[in-house]
Structure 1
């Protein structure tokens, strides 16, 4: 009976004084993931031919009562960007933790070549291939893609310069400063 009373009192305290549990993000991980996400999207956008277009309805009605249609470049259309964003995190398996042998600095790098790319001159002995780390990288990508979907679409649709800096530093705050740019991704 006494333990039942203690449990009830504890439950009452938890309901009256809820604690806010907020998981801390591993900012270096999220920064690398954000930059990798931008790099992967940029690569996929550049693969689309510049002459490919898509018809979109303009929600203005002409004098005869029909909706007008516009053609816009496919590569940076909202529809295409959303499709790319759905699949981009699957490519995070091509990244692993890398330690620079001279500076001993660790960050995530792409180790797998894309399409017809040649294998980069990287020392694979400096990569740390860990399934848990790979899962964390992919989870962080999915989190960023979900939380910042509108910003990502907007920046790429507008063909903004320095998308990685704008998204990862200015919009999301995941990267502390632009001096920490990981160009190796």
Structure 2
């Protein structure tokens, strides 16, 4: 069971890491468009549409990654004071009552929405139209990934209820802890 949980975590993590590269592409596209518009005086009518699609793809596909890393916003003011078993019960109830129905609806409607877009070969409304249907197919893909990750989180809740401790997660990049960094620099300086 742990291998399946970690496999879904790894998939969500890899997808999130791959989508993170869209930030670089998006930044380059925006910088190029600003340069092109204000220095070369040759704006591109499709650039804004491309930026919106890239940002939307990044935003949607990063959802499963964020869920895998336990990074979604919650009311931690009270939640953090509860025992882990109580936290798991709260999470389990919220996943079953709200998360699952919402994500299933998103995935189902997103699939229908994307198929209709493909059927009419929907494109943007600009002089140089970009196809919209590939972007709209990101909706059910993101929904499916969120659904898989949500099921993993439900299993984690059940495991925590049984054991009293949260099961492990796939490791990834951690935020920099300034105090730990200072201690590390001091210890390296003292060792020399």
What TM-score results when the alignment is normalised by the length of structure 2? 0.30
Task: Give the structure with the larger strand fraction.
Answer: 1
| Larger helix share, 1 or 2 | 2
Which structure is larger by alpha-carbon Rg, 1 or 2?
1
TM-score (norm. length: structure 1):
0.31
